[in-house]
Amino acid sequence: MSDLDNPAKLERSRSILQQLDASNLKPNLSIYDRLLDVHGSQKDPSVMLTLFDLMAQHNVDPPLDFYHRALHFSGRNANCVVQAQLLDLMDQRQLPYTITTYEYMIRCAAKNIELERALDILDRMVQQDMVPTESSIFVALLLAIDLREPREADRLWQLAHRFHPTSPSMATHALSVLRLAAYLDQYELVRTYWRLVVTENNRVVDDGLGNLAIMTAARAKDAQLSYDIMLHLAENGFRLTEHHFSCLLDAFASTLDMNHTFRVFEAMRTARIPVTKATGVSVARRLGSDVNAIHLARQALQDIYTQFGCVDIMAFNIVIHAFAHHGDLDEALRTYDMAADLAIVPDIDTLEALLDACVHSRNADKGTALFHEFLQQKKLEPSTSTLSKMIVLVCTEHSNYEAAFTYLEQIKKRGQLPYRGAYYRLVKKLAACDDPRLALAVKDMEACGYTLSTHLQAYIADKASLSEKRRALASSQPTVVSST
C-alpha cells in the first residue's frame, strides 16, 4: 500500500476536521489543499466530494486550480462518475473550462478506455479555438493504437501535427501509427506514414515492421513502395530473405511490370538467395492467363539484355512456362530460340518448361526430340521431374507409349519415386488401351504410397466395361467363310 493510498491518513484528516469544528474554527484554503491531497489519493476518489460539501458550508469558494486537482485525482482512478460530479459543481459556479480542464477530462476518458469521448472532447476544444496540449492528444492517440483503430490514430496524429508540428514526439508516434497500419493491412496509411517516418524523418524501421509493410504494399500492387521498403532494410543492415523478395515479386508482377519483376531474380542472386522454380510460381501464374502479358514479358527479356547485357535464366524459363501454360508451343519454341541472342545457357528447367508446352500441345515427337537434344548436346542430366514429364508426354501418343516404362524404370533405379501425376497419366493410358499391364501398374503405384482417386477408379471401371462390351460384340459376330 502506497503512502498516499492510506486509509489511516484519511481517518486522521477527518479527526482534524472534527477537532476544528468542535473548536468552532473554519479550515482555510491551505488546509483544504492538504486535505484534498489525502482525499484524492484514496482508491475511491468520491470521498473528495465531502470536502466540497464542507467548503460550501464554510462559504469557502474553491478556486479553479482546486477543481483541476480534483479532476486529476478522479481521472487517475478512471472514475468518470466523480469527474462528472466535479464538472457539475464547476458549472454551478459558472467556472470556465480551460485547456487544463479538458486535458484532465481526456485523460480520464482514456483511462476508462472511452476513445469516442476523448475524441468528442478534442473536437469541442477545436471548435472553441483552443489548442489541445500535445500530451492530451497523444494520450488519445495511444488509446486508438491500443484499440487497433488506425483511422482514428491517423486523425489524432494529424491533429497533433496541426498544433504541435515541431514536437520531437511526432516521428515516434508516426512510427506507431505505421506499425498499426501495416499490422492491419491498411495500405493508404502505410504509404502515407512510410513517407512521414522514413522519407521525411529518416527513421529506421525494424525488420518485422518492414516485412508487414512489404506485404501490405504487395497486396495493394504498389511495386515502388515494396522496392523502397526492401532497399531501406538492405541499407540498414537487415538480412534479406526469400520472403522479402517473394513479396517484391508479387508487387511488381501484379502491375505486369516485367522489367522490374525479372530484375528481382538478379537481385536475389546478388544477395546469395537461391532462386528456385517455386520462387517464380506467382509470376508464371500471372502471365499464364494473359497472352498479351506473356508477349510483353518476352519483350522485357530483350529490353533487359539491351540495357544490362544479361538476362536471368529464371526469367527466361518463366516466359516459356507461361506460353506452355497458355498452350502455345510455337511461341514457347520461338522464345527458346532466343537463348543465344540473350546470352542464356538453357538448363534443365528450360527443358521442363518446353516439355510442358509439348504436353499441352500433345506433341510427343517434338518433346522427345528436345529431350534427347538437351541430354546429348547440352550434356544435362534429367531429374526425376524431367523423367516424370516424359512419362506424361509419351502417354499423349495414341499407341506408342512403350517409352513410358523405360522412363519409369530409370527413376526407380535412382531409388526415387515417380511423381503421382506420371503414374496417374500412365494408368489412365493403360486403362484406355485395355493394356494387360494395368493391374501391375496400379500395384506399382500403390507400392509407392499413391492411392487411386475415386475419379481414377471410376475411369478404370468405365474403360474395363467398355472393353468387355467390345470383346462380347466381337465374339458374337458370325465367322465368314471365304469361297474358293
Question: pLDDT tens, 231-252?
Answer: 898 888 888 888 888 877 877 7
Query: Residues 40-48: what's their mean pLDDT?
Result: 70
Mean pLDDT of 149-173: 96
Cell (9 digits) for 139: 494520450
In contact, 215 and 196? CB cutoff 8 Å? no
Residue from 409, 339, 405 nearest 374 by CA: 339
pLDDT, tens digit (0-9, with 9 covering 90-100), for 389-416: 999 999 987 678 888 889 999 998 988 9
Q: How confident is the model at residue 273 (pLDDT cuts 50, 70, 90)?
A: confident
Q: With beta carbons less than 8 A apart as the criterion, state whether 302 and 315 touch.
A: no
Q: Are 252 and 282 a contacting pair, CB within 8 Å?
A: no
- The CA-atom distances, in angstroms, between 427 and each of 362, 409, 459 are 18, 15, 10
Mean pLDDT within 39-68? 79
pLDDT higher than threshold 50 for residue 3: no
Range of lowest pLDDT (34-38, 82-86, 231-235): 34-38
For the record, the C-alpha cell of 398 comes out as: 495414341
Q: Count CB-CB contacts under 10 A for residue 399.
A: 7
Residue scoring higher pLDDT (176 or 456): 176
Q: Scan for cell 509493410, then name that residue.
A: 213
Q: Return the higher-pLDDT residue of 34 and 320.
A: 320
Q: How far apart are CA 482 and CA 44, in angstroms?
A: 119
pLDDT class of 8 with cuts at 50, 70, 90: low
According to the model, what pLDDT value does residue 200 have?
A: 92
